[in-house]
Amino acid sequence: MATLKTKSNELIHPMEHLLRMDRIPHIWCPGCGIGTAVTAFASALEKSKIDLDKVCIVSGIGCTGRVAGYVKLDSFHTTHGRAIAFATGITLGNPDLKVVVFSGDGDLISIGGNHFIHAARRNINMLVICVNNFIYAMTGGQVAPTTPLSAYATTSPFGCVEPPFNIPYIADSSGAVYVARWTALHIRRLTNSMAEALNKPGFSVIEVISPCAMYYSRINKLGDGLDMMKFYHDNSEIKHGEDTKNLDIGFQTKITVGKFVDRERPTYTESYKKWLSEIKRKK
Amino acid sequence: MNPIITAFAKGIKKSGVKPSRISVPSDIPFEPEVVKHLGVDFFHTIRGRAIAFGTGLKLGNPDLIVVPFIGDMMTIGGNHFVHGGRRNMDLLIICVNNFVYREIGGKSAPIQKCEKEQTTTQKFSPYSTFEKPFNATHLANSCGAVYTARWTALHTDELANSIAEALNKRGFSVIEVLLPGPNYYTSIKETDSNLLNFYYKNSVIKNGEAPRFVTITPKEKIIVGKFIDKERPTFIEQYNAQLSKTLGDKFTPHGGKNG
Amino acid sequence: MKANPRNVNTGIYYIDGDVASGQGALAAGCRFIGGYPITPSTEAAEAFAKIAPKAGAVFIQMEDELASIASVIGASCAGVKTMTITSGPGYSLMMETIGFGAMLETPFVILNIQRGGPSTGAPTKTGQADMMQSRWGSHGDYEIIAIAPESPQELFDYTIKAFNLAEKYRCPVMIMADECVGHMTEKVVIPKADEIEIEPRRFYNGPRDKYLPFKPDKDLVPKMVKAGDGYKLYITGHTHDEKGYPILTQNSKVKTQKSTTRRLVDKIKLNADKIIELKEENTDDADVVVVSYGISSRVAVRGIEKAREKGIKVGSLRLVTVWPFPDKKITELAKKVKAFVVPEINYGQVVFDVERCSHGEANVILIPHGGAGVHHPDDILSAIEYASKENKKIEGIIEHKTKLEKLIFEEGYKLKE
């Protein structure tokens, strides 16, 4: 994307029309991967040719929870964990809207885990972008359900004792129609994935593995954001269509990325309409 | 509930576990007499919190064998279910699935009988439902359960065996039992034999079937059996191992040998 | 009973209130904390996670607050002392299960480091707007105990007291601190174990077949047993009789519902005199009494000093235990004084009870504060000055705006026709 110029020859950011520039600078730390995910999302919005007036973005609480506040769509910053439930309401209230839930691992999988599996089961029409930085960063580095075994966090000062979730597997098993995982390094592929998922009806999940330089890397002594990017570069492996059960992430182990699931299933609204017409016919 | 309770009692006997070691947090009420007969400690918790409550019981006293009974098919308590599985908390979940009827979709006799009756659950979706049900086994497996089995009210012996086996197994075990809930049960009591007949005709035992393929779908046979039986360190084992590693002598393992 | 030396990290520390509370919990004998990170209470969970394993206690970070509180009640039923740590939104999530805990009469402690609300509000800023929620939050009738500490040292001391009260009266005990106290770093002295008094759990040790889980002792509090001791416990959140069995027949349902809720309420109400702790200063000759709690009471100290310098006879009544409310004390003071001044970081909660108990005999002046900060001592001073000059009896609560608020909303909001 080239740098844009206004009529008065002023330099503007190429994504200015998609971001709330009046809220910039953002709150994310140097080396964080959330900004990358937002850039990829903004590019995907353009690439997908979707009507921007018909896209809503919903976030929960946390670092990634702030995304809704920086994207110039109809944005909703909801309570902790309830982003998906809130988005379910939007999409059922007005099925013409495409709802994007952009939130973190703690928000979506920990406290919002139930909404996540249920929305997947119902196949609600929404795109869930889950930025996974392996930790609760907003509150200062607590253990998350995605923290790899034996990694350190402030509430697991002697190493994490709980195995992490395999987010693609749980999404797949609950019934998501599109599941992909990328790291913050795979910007182009991430953008393509997002663009593809934006045009796909049904419950799509894209997990974005993101560095957290301030907490996860610092507590575990993994260097800064750049070091994490180098790590992703050396240790991520693209395997499209891999069985989701093989996607566990250990502490500093190989990360399998790719598009794992892309299937068709009637969405909630579709089944609802079909069922309604059946009932009407019966009567 | 009766077939499950009977199977549970049989299972306890068979497993050789002392009933007083067993605690049952449940969101389904049991009859006091039943509890007395079973000899277990019973906690009727609020809806959906049986697993979370059980997590506390187990960590508060690792000697206990905690058997949460969940009746809401993971609606309100779904999150506790998946996280319990992830942690591999040492719990045996008896998941009482009474919604099968509607989910099968009014295709067979017992269901149509049910649909005429306006029971409490049906008032909520009076025209039966169109939502896809959970494949509890697959979900349990994807979040890390070590033991999953599914039986119907017909397979009481198999169910008792499964319960006995799972009581002696460490880790997050899930036994799904298909049966109509009390509301249905009372309304179709006269068709008891019909119901069992239905199960007899429509279920097929496939032990070791891949969890992905055991979804309950209309018009297809219900696959029952023991699907997963694997080993994974439980939460308390993992906790003790990790903390002994980092803290060394300063740390006394939680729950001693029973952890 | 004295504290176990293994749990007490004796020494002089320079720590914040949250950490002090974590230390206090361990010293009180807490064996289990199920928590979930939420600003500004997280440090307490972190502190406990760090010190617990060495003393044989467990910290588990649950998946959400619903799970935290349920696991805490479960662990309490297993026979150990338990606590959970939270703040505003998490506290709201816990409400249903708090009522369940009150019904089961399981002892447990909740540390609520209050923040600005409603909803997400101001997570890193202070507030005192959960006071009424702590009392009435869950549905149905029950009583709880709430303590409002004002310093990190008090967070240590009163966490221990909270555990003791919870064990003694078998009810949920809330430590209603605020962000200012939780994040305030000060000197905290952790005494030796033999200087810490601990209330052991009321375990039953009579014959096994005679045990009735909800048969009250003389002080209306029943005795407990551990799960797994062969008592064949039947515990339910339904209205239950002394055996713990749910009541099914219509007639006895009415009777038992009354007797159960009556006892849940009365075991706190009738023991209120023993539970309530107040700090009273110069109220004997006072014209005006400042009724305050939490961080507001610390700010009030300076306001009172200034007023005294000006020759106003002002006393201070600090509510250490806010609930149960010291009805008698307020009524007694109302007969003597001209007015009460109540600074609160909310738009009026505890002040309603002050007004209720003053029975119109003294003016009640509220200094409301929207949160995200504390009162300026001058605000309290000006309210005291106004109170001492006002000789008329004024019905209802008189709002005395803070300087800042006057600046922002000079005229206040007015409904437009």
The domains found in chain A, sorted by start residue, are 19-282 (3.40.50.970)
Q: Coil, strand or helix: which one is C216?
A: strand
Q: Is residue C116 part of a domain?
A: yes
Q: What is the pLDDT of residue C408?
A: 84
Proportion of chain A above pLDDT 90, given as a percent: 87
Q: Is the pLDDT of residue C297 over 60?
A: yes
Task: Give Cα B32 distance to the centre of its chain.
Answer: 20
Q: What is the pLDDT of residue B193?
A: 59
Proportion of chain C above pLDDT 70, given as a percent: 100
Q: What is the pLDDT of residue B127?
A: 56
The neighbour count for residue A71, using CB atoms within 10 Å, is 22
Q: Is the pLDDT of residue B183 over 80?
A: no
Q: Is residue C413 part of a domain?
A: no
Q: Is A61 on the interface with C (CB under 8 A)?
A: yes
State yes or no: cis peptide before C200, omega within 30 of 0: no
Q: Is residue C316 part of a domain?
A: yes
> Under a CB-based contact definition with an 8 Å cutoff, are residues C78 and C226 in contact?
yes
**Co-location of C170 and C220 in the same domain:** no
> Under a CB-based contact definition with an 8 Å cutoff, are residues A105 and A184 in contact?
no
Radius of gyration of chain B (CA): 19
The neighbour count for residue B231, using CB atoms within 10 Å, is 10
Q: Is B172 on the interface with C (CB under 8 A)?
A: no
Q: What is the pLDDT of residue B109?
A: 29
Domain coverage including residue B234: 2-258
Q: What is the pLDDT of residue B113?
A: 34
Mean pLDDT of chain A: 92
Mean pLDDT of chain C: 93
Q: What is the pLDDT of residue A4?
A: 60
**Co-location of C264 and C286 in the same domain:** no
Residue among A64, A30, A27 at smallest CA distance from A218: A30
Model confidence band, residue A6 (pLDDT cutoffs 50, 70, 90):
low
Q: Is the pLDDT of residue A72 over 50?
A: yes
CB within 8 Å: B243 and C53? yes
Least confident of A72-86, B95-109, B163-177, C46-60: B95-109
**Co-location of C235 and C148 in the same domain:** no
Chains that touch A (3 or more CB pairs under 8 A): B, C
Q: Indicate the number of domains in chain B.
A: 1
Q: Is residue C92 part of a domain?
A: yes
What CA dihedral angle connects B74, B76, B81 and B87, to 10 degrees? 170
Among C255, C272, C289, residue at a domain's last position: C272
Give the position of tokens 């959400």.
C64
Q: What does DSSP assign to residue C284? A: T
**Co-location of C293 and C259 in the same domain:** no
Q: What is the pLDDT of residues B31-88, one digit of tens each?
A: 888 888 889 999 999 888 999 999 999 999 999 999 999 876 677 888 999 999 999 9
Q: Is residue C417 part of a domain?
A: no
Q: What is the pLDDT of residues C329-352, one digit of tens each?
A: 999 999 999 999 999 999 999 999
Q: Coil, strand or helix: which one is A26?
A: coil
Domain coverage including residue C223: 208-272
Q: Å from B138 to nearest chain A CA?
A: 6
Q: What is the pLDDT of residue B217?
A: 72
Q: Å from C24 to nearest chain B CA?
A: 19
Q: Is the pLDDT of residue A255 over 90?
A: yes
- In single-letter form, the type of residue at position C76 comes to S
- Residue in A79, A110, A142 nearest the CB of C89: A79
Residue among B198, B92, B207 at smallest CA distance from B152: B198
Q: What is the pLDDT of residues C163-216, one digit of tens each?
A: 999 999 999 999 999 999 999 999 999 999 999 999 999 999 989 889 999 999
Q: Is residue C200 part of a domain?
A: no
Q: Is the pLDDT of residue B104 over 90?
A: no
Q: Is residue C415 part of a domain?
A: no
Q: Is the pLDDT of residue B133 over 80?
A: no
Residue B87: CATH number of its domain: 3.40.50.970
Q: What is the pLDDT of residue B47?
A: 85
Phi, psi of C93 (to 5 degrees): -65, -30
**Co-location of C160 and C123 in the same domain:** yes
Nearest CA in chain A to B77: A114
Q: Is the pLDDT of residue C107 over 90?
A: yes
Chain C 3-42, CB below 8 Å of chain A: which residues? 35-39, 42
Q: Is the pLDDT of residue B126 over 60?
A: no
- Tell me what the mean pLDDT of segment B78-99 comes to: 89
Long-range contacts of B35-38 (CB under 8 A, 24+ apart): B35/C232, B35/C234, B36/C232, B36/C234, B37/B9, B38/B5, B38/B8, B38/B9, B38/B12
Q: Is the pLDDT of residue A84 over 70?
A: yes
Mean pLDDT of chain B: 80
Counting every residue written for chain A, the total comes to 283
- Tell me what the mean pLDDT of segment A146-166 comes to: 94
Q: Which residues pair with A71 in a beta bridge?
A: A19
Q: Indicate the number of domains in chain C.
A: 3
Residue among B256, B145, A235, B51 at smallest CA distance from C71: B51
Q: Is residue C203 part of a domain?
A: no
Nearest CA in chain C to A108: C63
Q: Which residues pair with B56 in a beta bridge?
A: none
Q: Å from A266 to nearest chain B CA?
A: 10
CB within 8 Å: C37 and A81? no
Q: Enumerate the residues of chain A whose CB falls inside 8 A of the CB of residue C46.
A: 140, 142, 154-155, 157
ipTM: 0.90
